[in-house]
């Protein structure tokens, strides 16, 4: 009996694994043609200065509208694009698109773009950033690049050199999803960043005493280092009140505004930006 079960399992498993590999291959193939077929788009999510209540910028978030698959979440296609290398041209496209959008926002508002480790390791990254800024006319000081700890983890010389070069140009570097990684404090010491973005899992759990203590500590750390602290995933007034009373600099989340189309964010930014002049 055990023997026949084993054989059945074996026969069941083998085609199942094939199906997984095939599904993955199909995703890679669809993704490979998606850029030239213009299936990608950027949404923008507003970021608010908590003390003033003003919108100070927005983060570009990639969207894939696949004709076959419908909307595919970045968490499912970005890792595949990283493995196939597509993230390099795709990330370049996103930088240009984001900077072009930001060129139509009120002067001084920042645009944040997510950057993957693969892009930074490609060696051509700094050039493509400089080119996106020149193409759009957006000054370097208005661009913020969001990296995660995995970028700093491998400590490759090309990555650190690139980040330093970009920072010297006046581009700001934000450490995204802070607290979910593996050794956040070490990276802060080795590589100077301009901003910490506290991961939304902490904000979601802010009613927990221990989580609240951690969040307060990170806000204090940011203050000591003289850098901006942004809370991600702010969904309720209660969360915003806690963050405000603890001196958190910025908030981002559904409470402030969900990611929305470029035209919509442009309207919002023009109405809620500091001294809303266009430029
Ligand atoms: P992220 O950079 O941490 O972006 C924040 C994510 O949280 C976004 O998910 C956003 O839609 C979501 N979010 C914002 N406010 C709230 C909230 O109040 N509650 C909840 N539950 N979620 C909220 P999204 O758009 O699905 O993006 C997921 C991740 O994909 C991003 O996380 C980023 O790591 C990656 N990603 C997105 N666009 C790009 C891109 O252009 N390049 C690269 N390399 N990665 C990207
Ligand atoms: Mg981000
Ligand atoms: Mg994040
Ligand atoms: Mg994330």
11 pLDDT above the threshold of 80: no
**Cα of 7 from ligand 1 centre, angstroms:** 44
Instruction: Quick: pLDDT tens for 133-156.
Output: 999 999 999 999 999 988 888 778
Query: Quick one: pLDDT band at residue 5, thresholds 50, 70, 90?
Result: very low
Instruction: Quick: pLDDT tens for 155-182.
Output: 788 999 999 999 999 999 999 999 987 7
Determine what percent of the chain falls in helix, strand and coil, rounding each to the nearest 5: 50, 20, 30
Whether 162 contacts 152, CB under 8 Å: no
Tokens representing 147 are 């990296």
Q: Is the pTM of this model over 0.90?
A: yes
Tokens representing 94 are 């996103």
Query: Quick one: pLDDT band at residue 2, thresholds 50, 70, 90?
Result: very low
**Cα of 61 from ligand 1 centre, angstroms:** 6
12 pLDDT above the threshold of 60: no
Query: Quick one: pLDDT band at residue 193, thresholds 50, 70, 90?
Result: very high
Closest alpha carbon to 262 in 35, 37, 40: 40
Q: Where are the alpha helices (DSSP H) in 191-236?
A: 200-204, 209-225
The confidence score (pLDDT) of residue 211 equals 97
Whether 231 contacts 248, CB under 8 Å: yes
What is the ipTM for the molecules in this complex?
0.98
φ and ψ at residue 145, rounded to 5 degrees: -110, 125
Q: Which atom of ligand 1 is nearest to the CA of 113?
A: 41
| Residue 97 Cβ contacting ligand 1 at under 6 Å | no
Cα–Cα distances (Å) from 266 to 126, 146, 234, 255, 271, in that order, read 27, 21, 21, 18, 9
Instruction: Quick: pLDDT tens for 225-269.
Output: 999 999 999 999 999 999 999 999 999 999 999 999 999 999 999
Q: Which atom of ligand 1 is nearest to the CA of 234?
A: 18
| Cα gap 200→8, rounded to integer Å | 44
């Amino acid at each position: 009996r055990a023997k026949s079960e084993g054989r059945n399992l074996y026969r069941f498993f083998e085609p199942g694994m094939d199906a997984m590999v095939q599904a993955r291959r199909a995703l890679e193939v669809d993704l490979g043609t998606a850029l030239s077929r213009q299936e990608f788009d950027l949404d923008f999510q507003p970021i608010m200065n908590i003390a003033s209540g003003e919108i100070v910028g927005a983060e570009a978030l990639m969207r894939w509208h696949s004709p076959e698959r419908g909307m595919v979440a970045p968490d499912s296609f970005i890792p595949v694009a990283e493995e196939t290398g597509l993230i390099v041209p795709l990330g370049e496209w996103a930088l240009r698109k984001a900077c072009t959008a930001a060129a139509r926002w009120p002067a001084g508002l920042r645009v944040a773009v997510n950057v993957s480790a693969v892009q930074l390791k490609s060696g051509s990254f700094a050039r493509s950033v400089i080119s996106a800024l020149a193409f759009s006319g957006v000054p370097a000081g208005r661009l913020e690049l969001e990296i995660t700890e995995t970028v700093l983890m491998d400590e490759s010389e090309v990555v650190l050199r690139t980040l330093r070069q970009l920072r010297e140009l006046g581009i700001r570097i934000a450490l995204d999803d802070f607290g979910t990684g593996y050794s956040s404090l070490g990276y802060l010491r080795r590589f100077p960043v301009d901003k910490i973005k506290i991961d939304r899992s902490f904000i979601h759990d802010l009613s927990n005493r221990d989580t609240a203590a951690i969040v307060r500590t990170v806000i204090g750390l940011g203050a000591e280092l003289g850098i901006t602290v942004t809370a991600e995933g702010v969904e309720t007034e209660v969360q915003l009140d806690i963050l405000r009373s603890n001196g958190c600099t910025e908030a981002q989340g559904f409470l402030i505004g969900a990611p929305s189309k470029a035209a919509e964010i442009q309207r919002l930014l023009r109405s809620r930006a500091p001294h809303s002049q266009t430029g």
